[in-house]
């Protein structure tokens, strides 16, 4: 897979979050499946996408904090893994792909902040000049695409050309699964175990167990 083509496809997928509704295509488990299919390894794409989905399940801005971009992180983690593993051992590739995903999520959050500022300027232009509606929409779409491309392309190029030294830390699929499930459980407890939602949580668990038994 050509790294530039992959970055363009990934940037288009990321538009789902910022410019073209939000249909869930950019969510890590879905984007991971798509990228896995592109590389001919759907099972690994689903595996990485699901774990990154759990890791970023609880992403939320607090006060003045910048929200990490979980969707970009999922795309970066999955895409980087397939680029890395083509010329590096699996365990090294997994570790570096997760590092790329976490760093990319943080950078993506910062870029998202600047994109919001630019979109507010476009909105003010539209409010003053209503006839520029389609121009402003198109400018916002291009900005969202370039934001994704500028974030994804450098990381994918690095993943494509890097040779990981043998002294680099390793990460097995089993250990990654433990980390992902642990973080996902923590995120789930934070999000759902509250007084206002505990009854719905218990009802959902009861229905799930009933369906499982039947």
Task: Give the residue carrying structure tokens 């910062």.
Answer: 110
Q: pLDDT at position 79, please?
A: 94
The domain ranges of the chain are 3-106+149-213
Q: pLDDT at position 167, please?
A: 82
CA distance linking residue 134 with residue 25, whole number of Å: 25
Can you give the pTM of this predicted structure? 0.81
Q: pLDDT at position 191, please?
A: 63
Helix (H) / strand (E) element for 184: namely: helix 173-192
Confidence of residue 181 (pLDDT cuts 50, 70, 90): confident
As a whole number, mean pLDDT of residues 190-207 equals 69
Q: Smallest Cα–Cα separation from 76: which of 169, 149, 179, 180?
A: 149
CA distance linking residue 162 with residue 156, whole number of Å: 10
What three-state secondary structure class fits 110? helix
């Amino acid at each position: 897979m050509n790294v530039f083509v992959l970055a363009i496809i990934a940037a288009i997928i990321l538009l789902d979050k910022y410019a073209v509704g939000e249909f869930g295509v950019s969510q890590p488990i879905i984007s991971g499946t798509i990228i896995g299919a592109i590389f001919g390894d759907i099972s690994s794409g689903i595996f990485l996408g699901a774990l990154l989905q759990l890791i970023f399940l609880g992403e939320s801005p607090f006060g003045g904090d910048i929200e990490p971009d979980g969707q970009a992180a999922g795309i970066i983690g999955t895409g980087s893994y397939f680029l890395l593993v083509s010329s590096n051992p699996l365990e090294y590739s997994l570790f570096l792909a997760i590092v790329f995903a976490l760093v990319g999520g943080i950078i993506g959050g910062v870029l998202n902040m600047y994109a919001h500022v630019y979109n507010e300027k476009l909105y003010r232009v539209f409010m003053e000049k209503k006839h520029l509606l389609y121009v402003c929409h198109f400018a916002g779409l291009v900005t969202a695409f370039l934001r994704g491309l500028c974030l994804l392309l450098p990381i994918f190029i690095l993943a494509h050309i890097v040779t990981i030294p043998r002294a680099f830390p390793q990460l097995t699929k089993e250990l990654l699964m433990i980390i992902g499930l642990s973080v996902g459980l923590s995120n789930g407890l934070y999000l759902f175990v509250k007084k206002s939602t505990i009854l719905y949580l218990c009802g959902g668990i009861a229905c799930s167990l009933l369906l499982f038994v039947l």
